Amino acid sequence: MSRHKKKKIKVNQDTATLNTSEIAAEQDNPEAAESESAGDTEFEEASEEVPEAQDAPEAAETYADEDTAAEDAEVTETENSAPEAETDAPEAEKAGEAGEAAEIEEVTEAAEESVSETDGSENASSDDAEENDASEGAAGDSASGEEKKESSGKSRVSRNALREQTENERLRREARHRRRVRQQVTAYIILILIIAVIGLGLFFGIRYFVNRSRAIKEAEAAAELALQQQLEEEANAQAEPVEVPEIHTVDELGDTPLQLLDAEIEAELSQMTIEEKVQGLMFITPESITGVDRVVIAGDGTAAALSDFCPGGIVYSSKNVNGTDQFATMISNTVNMVSRPVFFATSETGLGESGLIASGAIESVMTPAQAAEGADVEAVVSNGISIGTGLSAIGIGVDFAPVADIAVTAGGIGTDATYGTDASAITPYVTAMADGLSQGGVIAAYKYFPSLAASTQDPLHGRALSDRTIEEFRANEFQVWLSAINAGAQMIQMSNVIYPSIDNDSLPSTLSEKAVTGVLRDELKYDGVIISGPLSDAAITEYYTASESAVMALKAGCDMIYSSPDPRAAVEGIVEGVANGVISEERIDDALIRIYRIRYAARLEELRAQYEAAAANLGVDLTGVAY
């Protein structure tokens, strides 16, 4: 029990003792009572003491209220500073308060008993006084009765004050108790919330770490399992070697078909004399070898001429044609007279210049000009097939067609054999005609590079010159030539026109290294057979001998010498050039290899088939391989 509570109980006890003492004093001192009833002044003093006795409970209650306020402040301070201690011992406090109430109740009961005893003693004293003082008179009895009434009233006032004080104390105690209960409930709620938050945090924290630990363990287990499997696989691989399939490459196939063919050609060339090699570069007319003006049969003269001179090719024109059978027989007989394979050629663009259309040997349904008027490209292909088939049937293997030229100059030479004036428009017709000839079994020899129609002067009759610039060529004619090269042109024939924009040395294109090698071979990347323009043209013969023009054409980059006015002189000039170091024999061989690649095209296809079969057996992919 606290110090203030003890003080409060002591005050209540003192108040009850005071009231009891006063009553006892009055009973033990009858003389004072008589003096008090006798004298007015002393009665008033006794009366003043009664109010003081009555005021004593109020003073005690005020003192108790002050102590209670101090106690409340102390309790509040204690609750704010140590809510946990109050929360932890609610039952102890309740027990203390119960004890305190019991103690106050005991004090109250004791006070009431004391008052009751005093009343009893007073009554007993009154009875004794009556017995002992019976002799006294009526006046004395009357005064004693008034004192008894006054003493009884004081006792009732004291009991009522004490009961009121006790009730007030009980009410204050209940209010404090309710306040403490509310504070305790609030504290419990806050404590529960704090515990809940902490519990949730711990729950999720523990759950996170448990899951993370489980994931780490699973990852470690998976890694360990993978490592174990890897070790087992490695052990199995070491125990049982796996046969790795052998990977084959293109190199295992050996030389390509083209390399094999070149090797066969080189082997054949190695058996030939330099004269025989150079003869194989000549593309001659039958008249130039026989010395007659017009050849229509292949008789003894032709046989004698070819006995010691085997050209690379023989070209026929309309003057050699009398009829289809005649021409076919002449070709057939000539084939039997040569010692090596020879190209038999003519020039047929669809205009009938070969004389074979008129003889009925071949059929052409349109000219280049007619095609340029809007013919379907497929119609041009069909026309090429018709011409090629007819030529092939009578022994012709090369057609100097189509004309891959543009009619860009009014009055230009050979414009009637061109397919128009616009490069993009004529390109499809040019390649379509060549495609048709090839399908008919004939090699197309495109002509005339870089152009013949750009000049109004005919090199057949003399010097021909054109001021067409190289830029104009690149924007127009070269586009057609590039299309032909990309389409697989096997032969291209040169022009005899001089183009200063290409060669400022004023050389005919067929004799110009800048035109043949610089432009056609290097710039346009052509690797097929290049045939010179007709060396029998006046544009050549008026300025150069047959020997000189042949050497110049070969040095310029031409592979075959076309229509030399004197083939034997041309051969002698080239052989002498090789001997003098003007031309190398390798240059001769290089030209012959290109020629023989075309001549042995069938052999090349045979080698390609064998190469593809070998690649298939080894599982080698030939995509992107040039062979």
Same domain, yes or no, for 488 and 354? yes
Q: How many domains does the chain have?
A: 2
Helical axes 3-28 vs 30-38, angle rounded to 10° = 80
| Secondary structure E strands in 171-308 | 282-284
Same domain, yes or no, for 454 and 334? yes
Q: Which of 197, 214, 244 is the last residue of a domain?
A: 197
- Report residue 283: phi and psi, to 5°: -115, 95
CA-based Rg of the chain, rounded to a whole angstrom?
72
Same domain, yes or no, for 158 and 276? no
Among 316, 263, 269, smallest CA distance to 288 is for: 316
Dist CA 510 CA 553 (whole Å): 6
- The reported pLDDT for the residue numbered 618 is 87
In a domain, 607, yes or no: yes
Same domain, yes or no, for 296 and 185? no
8 A C-beta contact, residue 556 and residue 530: no
- The reported pLDDT for the residue numbered 105 is 53
Token pair of 163, please? 């009961």
Low-confidence spans in the chain with pLDDT less than 50: 1-97, 99-101, 103-104, 107, 110-112, 114-141
* Beta-carbon count within 10 A of 413 CB: 24
In a domain, 236, yes or no: no
- The reported pLDDT for the residue numbered 65 is 42
Element spanning 448, H or E: strand 443-449
| Secondary structure E strands in 500-621 | 529-531, 561-562
Token pair of 523, please? 């710039």
Q: Which of 173, 197, 221 is the last residue of a domain?
A: 197
- Report residue 306: phi and psi, to 5°: -85, -10
- Quote the Cα angle for 450-452-458, to 5°: 145
Same domain, yes or no, for 192 and 96? yes
Dist CA 368 CA 401 (whole Å): 11
Same domain, yes or no, for 288 and 425? yes
Same domain, yes or no, for 155 and 287? no
- The reported pLDDT for the residue numbered 149 is 62
Q: What is the extent of the structural domain holding 489?
A: 257-618
pTM for this entry? 0.62
Token pair of 508, please? 């005919």
In a domain, 102, yes or no: yes
In a domain, 223, yes or no: no
In a domain, 235, yes or no: no
Same domain, yes or no, for 288 and 193? no
Same domain, yes or no, for 265 and 130? no
8 A C-beta contact, residue 300 and residue 332: no
Token pair of 205, please? 């924290």
In a domain, 225, yes or no: no
- Report residue 508: phi and psi, to 5°: -60, 145
The strand pair at 398-399 and 561-562 is best described as: unpaired
In a domain, 378, yes or no: yes
- The reported pLDDT for the residue numbered 201 is 86
Dist CA 337 CA 302 (whole Å): 8
In a domain, 189, yes or no: yes
- The reported pLDDT for the residue numbered 547 is 97
Same domain, yes or no, for 475 and 348? yes
Dist CA 289 CA 285 (whole Å): 7
- Residue 412, judged by CB atoms within 10 A of its CB (0-12, 13-18, 19+), counts as buried
- Quote the Cα angle for 604-610-615, to 5°: 125
Same domain, yes or no, for 187 and 288? no
CATH code, domain with 543: 3.20.20.300
- The reported pLDDT for the residue numbered 48 is 39
Same domain, yes or no, for 270 and 169? no
Q: Which of 151, 179, 197 is the last residue of a domain?
A: 197
Dist CA 612 CA 154 (whole Å): 145
